[in-house]
Structures are given as structure tokens and as C-alpha cells.
Structure 1
Amino acid sequence: MKTQLIIFLWVATSFFLCGHAHGQVDLFVAAQGNDNNRGTKEKPFATLQKAKAVARETAGKVTVYVREGTYYLNEPLVFTLLDSREDGEEMVFKAYGHERVTISGAKVLLPKWHVLKNGLHMASIPDDPVFDQLFVDGRQQPMARYPNFNPLRRHYNGTSADAISKTRTERWKDPSGAYLHALHGSEWGDFHFLITGKDSTGKLLLEGGFQNNRRTGMHTQYRFVENVREELDTLGEWYYSKQDRKLYYLAANNLRGAKIESPQLRQLFEFRGSQASPVRNITLEGLTLVHTLRTFMETKEPLLRSDWTIYRGGAVLMEGAEQCIIKNCTFDAIGGNAVFFSNYNRDNQVVGCEIVNIGASGVCFVGDPGAVRSPSFEYNQFVPLNAMDIVPGPKTGNYPARCLVYDNLIHDVGLVEKQVAGVQISMAQDITVSHNTIYNMPRAGINVSEGTWGGHIFEYNDVFNTVLETGDHGSFNSWGRDRYWHPNYDSMKSRVMALPGLPLLDVVNPIVIRNNRFRCDHGWDIDLDDGSSNYHIYNNVCLNGGLKLREGFYRVVENNIIINNSFHPHVWFANSHDIFRHNIVTRHYFPIRVSNWGDQVDYNLFPDSLALAQARSGGTDLHSKAAMPDFVNPIEGDYAVAENSAAYAIGFRNFAMDSFGVLSPSLKARALKVQLPVILDNTESREHRYAWMGMSIKNLTTLGERSATGMATEAGVYVLEVETWSFWSKYLRPNDVILALGDTTIKTVEDLERSFGALSSGEVAMTVFRSQAALKLIVRR
């Protein structure tokens, strides 16, 4: 009888776990459960790990329902090939009903506080946990820092030029373990350093500075330090002394009963497979993921010749995954990246999520550099043409492809790192980014690091409040520094003349940007920089920053609306095959170093005859028109044109104005609304150009000129043309910026004329900015 009972229980348990072979099995996890339970609703497991282990051995579709509560992980939940599922037998980890389920990478601390003075609390901490961030009752508190945290300051919530001045660092007894954060000197992202101590002269010893792939130095003003004991001087700040394991916190109130949490993990969920053995058919649904470590000191790997370096990790990391889904999840208070797709990934999705308060990027797709033919890894590096692999496309399949980012609310990203994006794509193919609302970004909302290997579709996104802390960038930004690209304009021109097919070796499929709305108040709405090629851009509304095409080939831009701005062609090549047609612009064009206008720049609508005449003087827009576009309701953001609009005569066609951004009602209700611009009048003015000693020069004053020259600020004298007979032809060339003559700083043309006139005969030093660097010349008068 006893033997029969054991057999019956074994059969019953097997029947429950296998779920009729092709049925569905439901497992349950609850904060008050027990891993010795059977995992039923009445007898749930206590941990996700136990549920995963049981699901691994269970045939059929398995749904792990997680009941309300906070689940603190002491290690990431890792899915491997052993967890992989066949089609129709998916494994789903899902919040039960509408219950709030939080997965945390933090540790709950139970400090015994001692009040020292003036609100300063101190507690001894056993076990020496990681102290990277501190949350008190769910709210993150700033490390002791200088200058103090100020939410109203644009850069890093407070910066100062004297952050590491000798006067200040002399006050620091032992700054080892502190951090120095700074913008890039040209505001192209950021740098971060660990302070390891001082040398015998009192100079700080720094480790780091590898977070940006354009390592030309940190900004002299936009910098701050944190985790310095002597800077603990304002309410809410904290400092942890690793040497004696003491936590100091300057609190406004008594901390008795306060919940103290400190993140300990970089990842919460990991999908670990490979191209040969992928993890398949696993879904995370309805979970809230919080509290991961900051990873700025792990951001080291260069992404080819983009300005980026990367850390291959996130709260969710997928590598070697297929048909895996992150659905209706919330990512909040994440120290690094939220979601990272590394190397081989196919047909994965991020759908219906809110990604907010993120230290680095929202969603990243980054392939294997080993899949790239003839790769280069820094701006000034290149592969000689005679050594270049000229086979089109990737070398291997070890990269993300056919993945979807759909209906996500992504905002307040890049709280720690600044070379980040809401969605970042590098060495990937056929990624679709659709119906997302993306805002409050220190840099781009969407960034494509190079054309390798194209095929992406960006559609119905609403992207605004971008480039808030950096410069020379756009709401949508791309670089095209693929294998064909050369940092020297003349060298690249000769390359493409010799082999016209070079620009399409890597961006083998066209990249499509359609039906989006972009607004950037500190750069371009759409910025295709440095060789970006093979794009089709249509049916977009640009609300402020205009559209820029620099260098590059095979770009078709048509049927777009550009409000309060225009077309910015920068540094074009002969035979670029670019097309700009059927667009509505509301200012004159802003060309820089463009003499050959591609295959077609025509059939566009200008706001007035002066803007049209200026375009025609450059040899374009023979069939274009000058007239007001007659928008239907611009105050409400409806830029469709009325029935009698002149826009129809140039081939423009209306497109939907109510389909931008997220679709889910809950996300729509929480999403910030873009600020619609007041349409400015159409009075055109031309900045004055000076003819001086055989040159055409002007004051460098615009963002476009900064982009074309690589200047970090709008100062200096911009050289437009130099006649061959000019005295200056031996020294200067177009696109130079004159910065100094002798000991005199040159900010304007007036400074240059006055300084040169005061020189006596002989030699004088001149500083110019050329090819993204300051250059000293000796001028002989």
C-alpha cells in the first residue's frame, strides 16, 4: 500500500509539471512562499530561481506568475540553453494580474545610526557591501560632491571649473575612491575617472577617461567630483568610508524606520546563448526592474570609429537569444543600461515598456566587431584601400538582427553617462524602432553608430528634449564611419572616385526614417554626420533643429516638413547621388562646403522668394516654389497642408499627424507632450561675409559651423574661401578657424584685422583649428 501511494504521488506530480505534454503549466512565486512548496497558487515558491529550475524540467508552455512584492536578487537570473523552449512551449515570467512585482538588484541594509552633529548620522556596516548608490525610502541620495547637486543646473546637476583645483584638493585628506566626471572638451559625450589618491606634490592620481572614443580631453568647466568625505556638507548627501566600513549620511529627519538600500548587481536577468546554441522563447512580462550598479567605469569598448565606447551589460542582457520578449515592464533607477542586446540576437522584442531614470542608455543593439570586414576603431584610424576587404556585408552572423523596439516610453536617460541614447544601434541589421516616445536625453534620442549593416526602420516615433547636456548632435543622430570612410576629405573623395561602390559595402540595406516627429533645441532634429549613407528619409516633421546631411552618399530626403528651420547640407562629394525633393522648408538652406548638389535638389517649397533665389543661385531648385505652406492647424501640431496649398504643386503629399509616439493608453497618459513651436516670421537675413586679403571670412557663430569644423565653441574667424593669389594661400585653407595671432586671441574678424595690422615684419605664430585639432603655424610677414 505504501509503495502504491508513492507511485501515485510521483505520477500526479509528473502530470502537474508536464501539463499534459502539450498543455500549459502555471507556477507561482510569492514573497512569503517556500521553495519546498509545489509552486501552486496556494503553495507558491519563494524565489524566481526555484521557479526557473522547475520550469526547465517542465514540458509544454510554462507561465511563472509572480505575486506582489519586492524580490531582492543576490545574483542575476540566468537563462541558458537548458532553459530554451520550442515554439509553442514558451516560458513566461509574469506579474500576476495587476499586482506590482519589483525585481531589485539592491541589498537592504539595517544600519544602527548614531547621530554625531548637525544631522550627520553614522553607522558601521558589516560585510562591506558595494556602495555605489544609496536609496533612502526609495529615493536616491547624492554622494558627497562638489559642486552640490542642483536639479536646475543643465550639466550634471551642477559643475564647476575649480572642481579639482589645487585650492580645493588641498582640503581633501584622502580622496582615493572618489570620482571625477566631466563632459568631453567639445561636448561630444563625457569622461569619468576614479581618483586613486595624490602624488607627492598633491596632484590627483586618475584612472579612466576611456568612456569616449574621441579622447581629446575633458571640458575645463563642465566637471564635478563625488564621493569625497570633505564635501559632505548638504542635506541628503552621503559618504562611505571603505577603510573603516562606516556610512555617513546628512539627514534632515530621524532615520529610525527608514528603508536603506544599496545596489549590488549590474544585471538582473541574463540570456546567455550563442549563434550555434541560442536561448529561445522566453518572455519577461509586467515586471518592475530596479536598482542596478552604475557601470561608467566599465564603459571601455570602442564602437568602431563612432564617438562611443560601451559596456556590454544592462538590467536585462541578451546574448545569443531568439524570439525572446520583454513586455510591459518598467525599468526604473537603473545605474547602467536598461536593456542590452549583445552579439547574436534574432527576432527579439522590447514592447510596451517604460524605461525611466537610467544611468546610461535605454535599449542597445551592439554586434561583434569580429563580424565587421576591415574594421577601424578610432576616428583617425583607417584601413588602406589596397589592404581593404571589399566583400559587401558582414563576415559572420554574430550580431543583432530582425529585432523590434515598439510602443515604449523612454525618458530621463543618461543620468550618469552622457554618450548615450534612448535607442543605440551599432553593428546590427534590420532593427525596427516604432511608436516610441523618447525625451529628456543628454544626447541623441536615437543613435546609429555607423551604417554597418543597415536595414533599420525608424517610424512613428516622437523624439524631443534631446542634446540637453552635450553639443553638435541631433534627436536622431548617425555616423557613417564605415570601412570606406577616411578622416581626410580629399583622401575619401579619391577613394570613392576609384571605387564608387565603397559607401555601400557595409550599409548594404537602406536605412529608413519615416513618419516620425523630432524636436531638438540644441542641435539638429535629424543629424546624419560623417559619411552616413544609404538613407531614405520621408514623411517626418522636424519641429526646430532642421535636417543635416554631412558627407555621405545615396540619401533620398523627400516629403518632410521642416518648421522654423531648413536643410543643412555640409561637406558634400561629387557624385554623392543625394536627393532632396518635395520638402517644405521654412528658411533658406544652410550649405557649408557644398559645390556639387547630388542627383537632385528640386521641387521644394520655400517660405519666400529670397530663400528660393538664394537656393537657385547655388544651382538648385529650378522647379521649386515660394509660398506659405498653409498648414491646417499648426497650433495643435497638425502640419497637413490645406487643399489650396502651393505645396501640392511641388509634389508634396500629406501624411498622418496623429500617429507619433506610444500607443498604449497607460503609456500615453504618462508621456510628456512635446512643446509645439510658434512658427516664426519668414524674414531672411544673411550673415555678413568679409572679403579680406584674398579670402572670404566670417565670424564663426552657428551650430552648423561648429559641426563643420569640429569646434567646441562658437568663436574665432571662419575661413570660407582662399584665392590662390592670396598671401594667406600658403597658410590657410577653407574650413580653418583662426583662433589666435601671436599672443592675441582672435574671436572676431575685427580682432584679426586689428591684430594683423599691428604686427611688424618678421615671424608670428598663428593658431588655427583644422581637422578637429588646434594647429600652430608660423606666418612670415
Structure 2
Amino acid sequence: MIGKGLKIACSLLAISSTLMAGDIWVSPKGNDFNDGTKQSPKATLTSALRQAREWRRTGDDRVQGGITIYMEGGTYALHEPVFIRPEDSGTEKSPTVICSISGEEVILSGGVRIRNWKKQGKLWVADVPTFNGRPLDFRQLWIDGKKAVRACDVEDFEKMNRICSVDEKNEILYVPAVSIRRLIDNKGNLKAKYAEMVLHQMWCVANLRIRSVEVQGDSAAIRFHQPESRIQFEHPWPRPMVTTDGHNSAFYLTNARELLDVPGEWYHDIDARKVYYYPREGEKMQDAGMEVIIPAVETLVQVEGTLDRPVSNVRFEKIIFSYTTWMRPSEKGHVPLQAGMYLTDGYRIEPKMQRNYQNHPLDNQGWLGRPVAAVRVAAANQIDFERCRFEHLGSTGLDYEEAVQGGV
């Protein structure tokens, strides 16, 4: 009788342990209509998070010891950020853990592979696919994990051209006419309509989209698109450098087919939806094993709560966050202040502020935006990233934005 009772107790304990196991499985070969068991895994992290969210909402016994989302090895291509919200919060005793299976490599990727390259003289060309039903634009290209160079007019960045002068009122930068010759036709008109200037000014670097070029003798007047033109010429600091000893601000030109002239460079013809690449020695673009990736997504994971309902106790373990883009410079230019923060407005104030900083009256005010991040965290507590990797990114990797406590 005692033996029978012990057997029943052990059976109940086994059932209880099974119920306490809050495990959800995800696999590149899974299906989001599956139940998330190891034998029947989900296909996406988003679907697994939804299942975990429902367990917590309904008070399922499986959440008592925490929820672990096991991701099988492989690449999980994303079309939008994985959104982790307050309802996904765990607790100190019942956290939500997102991890790779031991020994397997899990990649959350915002990249798209480019295939079917065709030789065209020294260059190779391929069609750029649509992404989510729209033409895809991008600013980075990766060849077998190595970043290629966007076509530009310099190879040795110690030999960049330098500006001649600045006309703030008319929003013009004057540069040596010889420096712009490859971007204009015989009549002096700009033929590279999406060309950009990358301008080194004091402690930061600006990306300015070129609107027009006007050659005036041995110099050329360059005007830029809005809003970066207004911001660039109105904000007081940092300024382009114009000195008496010739150490003016250096610059280079980029994003023009005419500048694609050395191995390792690429150019995207957005109108024709084709990408051109000049291979490095040994690169065989026709090789099926050659992996060419362009990033299409700016943010892979977004953890966002509110001040009164922060997201809490979520942990990522051994996950790779890879292939993100950064499109603001292509759409609105990029006029930074520092630390990658971009100015949305900035101008000199008069009279100057009465409060001094190190005995200097303050006359510079500006409004800033944050660069995008592969993983952004806001209004959250104890959001951890353990043994994760961030690679092949167009901008910031991990950004704890605001109202965040704890986390490693």
C-alpha cells in the first residue's frame, strides 16, 4: 500500500514538473501554427513571444519557474523589428529567456541576399530585389561578411580634397573645380543626381546630398538638398574649417557610378534597381557559395515599455544581431553634433545666454535626434544581453535609450 502511494506521488510530481516547464521552441524549419514544442516548433521569435505572453496573461502554471524560448541554429530573416512590450515582462523569479540551443548559431538578420551576378566589363551587376513590395535602397553591402566600399573619389583618405570657402547666407560650399569634375558633364551640369559629400568638420562628419554644382573658374559652388542644407549652414558648432594655413575641412564624394573605379567598391543605381560591384582579387561573384548581403531593416528588436509599465526581466543569451541599415543620410542628410546624434535644428542665439560655460557666453542651441540601433531599449528594467554578438550593422548596436534600469 505504501509502495502504491509512493508511485502515485511520484507520478503527480512528474506531471507537476512537466507543467512547470515553460519551454517554447523555435526553428527555421518550424511553423507559427505549431504548438511550440521541441517536436513541433514555431518559425518566428514573434510567435513564440505571443505564446509566452498568453501563458502569462492566463496565469498558466508553466510560467512559475520562468519561460525559456529555445531557438534552433540558423538565420531568422526579419521584415520588421521584433516588438517586446510590457505584457512580455517576466519577474525576478520567472524571467523570460531567449537563447540559442547549445553549440548552435542563431542569427536575427535584417539582410537580403543578392544573387545572379553577371559580368559587365570589369564590374559585376545584379538586380536589386524588392523588399516588402517596394524598391529597396541601402547604404551598405557585405561580401562574405566583409564590408565593401561605397564608390567614392578617394582611396587614400589622407589625400582628401579640401573646401575653399563657405557662404552661409546662400548655403554654398566652394570647392576646387577639379575635385568635382567626374560628377559633371561637358556643360558643367551635375550628372550624378544622387551623389553625396562627406564633410569632415571639427569633431564630426556630415553627410550632405548634393543638389547642384556650378563651376566658377577654378572653383565650384555646391548646393545641397533640404533639410540638411539649412541645418548645415545655420548651426554654429561644429563648423566647417576655413583657415589661413590651408588646413580647411577635408571632404570626399560618394554614391556615383562615375566614382566606381577600384576593386572593393560598389554602386547602387536606384532608378534601374541594379547594384554594381568591382570585385577584389580572388572574389568569384558567379560562385554559388559567395554570400552578398544588403541590409533592409534598421532595427531588429525593439523593447519598449512606458514609465508606469516598463518591460522587465527579459534576457537574451548567445544571439547574434546582424545586418542592419541606416537610411537617414539618404533621405534627409546627416548633420551631427557629436556621438552620432544628428541635429534636427540649430542656430546661433542673440543675445547670448547670460550663464557662461568656462567663461564663454553660450550662443549655440540645437535639437537632436538619436541614430537608429539594431536593438533599442526604452522604459525597461533588467533587460540583459549575455554572450550576444552585434555585427554587420549600419549604425548603433545596442541602445538603452531612456528610463532604463539594470541590464547587462
1:114 is aligned, of 118, 135, 140, to 118
Q: Where do 1:766-781 residues align within 5 Å?
A: none
SS in 1 for 2:124: strand
Is the CA contact (8 Å cut-off) linking 2:137 and 2:270 kept in structure 1?
A: no
| Separation in 1, partners of 2:250, 2:182 | 21
Superposition deviation, residue 43 in structure 1: 2.3
In 2, Cα distance between equivalents of 1:213 and 1:80: 40
Would the alpha carbon gap of residues 164 and 292 (structure 1) be closer, same or farther in structure 2, given more than 3 Å must change? farther
Report the CA distance between 1:310 and its aligned residue.
4.6
Query: For the Cα contact (< 8 Å) 1:73–1:105, is it kept in 2?
Result: yes
Of 299, 320, 332, which residue of structure 1 is paired with 2:379? 320
In structure 1, what is the equivalent of residue 391 of structure 2? Answer: 332
1:169 CA drift (Å): 2.0
* Correspondence 1:199-348 to 2 at 5 A: 203-207=221-225, 208=228, 214-217=237-240, 220-252=248-280, 253-256=283-286, 257=288, 258-294=290-326, 297=329, 299-301=341-343, 309-347=368-406
1:262 Cα deviation (Å)?
Answer: 0.7
- Superposition RMSD on alpha carbons, in Å? 3.1
Instruction: Supply the AA of the counterpart residue of 2:393.
Output: I
- How far off its partner does 1:286 sit? 0.9
Q: What is the Cα deviation at residue 213 of structure 1?
A: 7.5
Kept after mapping to 1: 8 A contact 2:83/2:302: yes
Task: Return 267-276 or 220-229, whichever deviates more.
Answer: 220-229
* AA at the equivalent of 1:168: S
CA contact (8 A) 1:213 1:308 kept: no
**1:193 matched to which residue of 2?**
208
Change beyond 3 A, Cα 1:280–1:26: same
Q: Distance in 1 between matches of 2:367 and 2:393?
A: 20
Q: AA paired with 1:316? A: V
The equivalent residue for 1:75 is 80
Equivalent positions of 1:658-737 (< 5 A) are: none
- Residues 188 and 307 of structure 1 are in contact (CA less than 8 Å); yes or no, is this contact kept in structure 2? no
Indicate the SS of the match to 1:44.
Answer: coil
Q: Deviations over 1:98-119 (max 9, x none)?
A: 3221111111222x323221x2
> TM-score when scaled to structure 2?
0.71
Q: 1:85 matched to which residue of 2?
A: 90
Letter of the structure 1 residue corresponding to residue 311 of structure 2: V
Can you give the 5+ residue segments of structure 1 that lack an aligned partner in the other structure? 1-14, 351-781
Aligned with 2:128 (options 122, 125, 130): 125
Contact 2:204 2:238 in 1 (8 A): no
- The answer to whether the Cα contact below 8 Å between 1:295 and 1:311 also exists between their aligned partners in 2 is no
Alignment pair present for 1:178 and 2:195: yes
Q: Secondary structure at the match of 1:243?
A: coil
**8 Å CA contact 1:213, 1:307 repeated in 2:** no
Q: Distance in 2 between matches of 1:301 and 1:204?
A: 21
SS of the residue 1:170 aligns to: helix
Q: Post-superposition shift, 1:64?
A: 0.8
Structure 1 residues 45 and 276 mapped into 2: Cα distance closer, same or farther (>3 Å)?
Answer: same
Q: Give how far 1:138 is off.
A: 1.7
C-alpha spacing 1:313/1:249, structure 2 compared with 1 (3 Å):
closer
Partner of 1:38: 35
Residue type at the aligned position of 2:240: G
Higher relative contact order (CA 8 A, sep 6+): 2
Normalised to the residue count of structure 1, the TM-score between the two structures is 0.38
Tell me if the contact between 1:312 and 1:342 (Cα under 8 Å) persists in the aligned partners: no
The C-alpha deviation readout for 1:671-728, integer Å capped at 9, x for no partner, is xxxxxxxxxxxxxxxxxxxxxxxxxxxxxxxxxxxxxxxxxxxxxxxxxxxxxxxxxx
CA deviation vs aligned residue, 1:42-68 (integer Å, no higher than 9, x gap): 322221111111111123111111111
What SS does the corresponding residue of 1:26 show, helix, strand or coil?
strand
- Aligned pair 1:52/2:49, yes or no? yes
Question: C-alpha deviations, 1:540-581, integer Å up to 9, x for none?
Answer: xxxxxxxxxxxxxxxxxxxxxxxxxxxxxxxxxxxxxxxxxx
Deviation of the 1:197 alpha carbon: 4.1
Quote how far apart the aligned CAs of 1:308 are.
9.9
Q: Distance in 1 between matches of 2:241 and 2:43?
A: 48
One-letter amino acid of the counterpart of residue 196, structure 1: R
Alpha-carbon shift at residue 312 of structure 1 (Å): 4.9
Hey, what's the Cα distance between the residues in 2 that align with 1:318 and 1:218? Answer: 37
Residues 175 and 197, structure 1, Cα contact 8 Å, conserved in 2: no
1:471-523: per-residue Cα shift (whole Å, max 9, x none)? xxxxxxxxxxxxxxxxxxxxxxxxxxxxxxxxxxxxxxxxxxxxxxxxxxxxx
Residues 164, 225 of structure 1: 8 Å contact kept: no
Deviations 1:152-199 (A, max 9, x none): x5x6xx633279532232321523322222222xx3222221223446
The 2-side partners of 1:306 and 1:88 are apart by: 47
Q: Would you say the 8 A contact 1:320–1:344 is kept in 2?
A: yes
For 2:177, the aligned partner's letter is K
User: Measured at CA, do residues 132 and 312 of structure 1 come closer, stay the same or move farther in structure 2, by a change above 3 Å?
Assistant: closer
Letter in 2 for 1:146: D
Q: Deviations over 1:74-109 (max 9, x none)?
A: 111011122222332211111111322111111122
2:266 partner letter: W
The one-letter amino acid of 2:125's match is M
Measured in 2, the distance between the counterparts of 1:159 and 1:307 equals: 29
Q: Distance in 1 between matches of 2:237 and 2:224?
A: 18
Name the CA distance, whole Å, in 1 between partners of 2:328 and 2:313.
31
Contact 2:203 2:238 in 1 (8 A): no
Structure 2 distance, partners of 1:340, 1:332, is 14
Give CA-to-partner distance per residue, 1:569-609, whole Å, 9 cap, x none.
Answer: xxxxxxxxxxxxxxxxxxxxxxxxxxxxxxxxxxxxxxxxx
Query: What SS class does the counterpart of residue 55 from structure 2 fall into?
Result: coil
Q: What CA deviation, in whole Å up to 9, does each residue of 1:2-32 have, x standing for no partner? A: xxxxxxxxxxxxx99x973xx3411111222
Q: Equivalents in 1 of 2:254, 2:215: separation in Å? A: 22
Identity across matched positions, percent: 25
Report the residue type matching 1:281 in the other structure. Answer: N
Give 1:204's aligned amino acid: I
Instruction: Tell me how many residue pairs correspond in the alignment.
Output: 322
Is 2:83–2:304's contact at 8 Å kept on the other side of the alignment? yes
Residue aligning to 1:159 = 160
Alignment CA distance shift 1:278-1:92 (3 Å): same
The CA deviation at 1:221 is: 4.4
Q: Which runs of 5 or more residues in structure 2 are unaligned?
A: 1-14, 57-62, 164-173, 184-189, 243-247, 335-340, 347-361
Structure 2 CA distance, aligned partners of 1:340 and 1:308? 19
Contact 1:265 1:293 (8 Å CA) reproduced: yes
Give the C-alpha shift of residue 343 in structure 1: 2.4
The amino acid across from 2:199 in the alignment is A
SS state at 1:343 partner? strand
Which secondary structure state, in structure 2, belongs to the residue aligned with residue 235 of structure 1? coil
Conserved in 2, the CA contact under 8 Å of 1:232 and 1:250? yes
For residues 326 and 28 of structure 1, the distance between their equivalents in structure 2, rounded to whole angstroms, comes to 19
CA contact (8 A) 2:255 2:267 kept: yes
1:236–1:251 contact (8 Å) kept in structure 2: yes
Per the alignment, do residues 83 and 53 of structure 1 end up closer, same or farther by CA in structure 2, a change over 3 Å counting?
same
2:152 aligns with one of 131, 142, 145:
145
Which letter maps to 2:144?
D
Listed one character per residue, the Cα deviations across residues 613-637 of structure 1 (whole Å, up to 9, x for unaligned) are xxxxxxxxxxxxxxxxxxxxxxxxx
Q: Secondary structure at the match of 1:58?
A: helix
How far apart in 2 are the matches of 1:328 and 1:147? 38
Per the alignment, residue 771 of structure 1 pairs with: none
User: Residues 226 and 102 (structure 1 numbering): CA distance in 2 closer, same or farther, change over 3 Å?
Assistant: same
The equivalent residue for 2:180 is 169
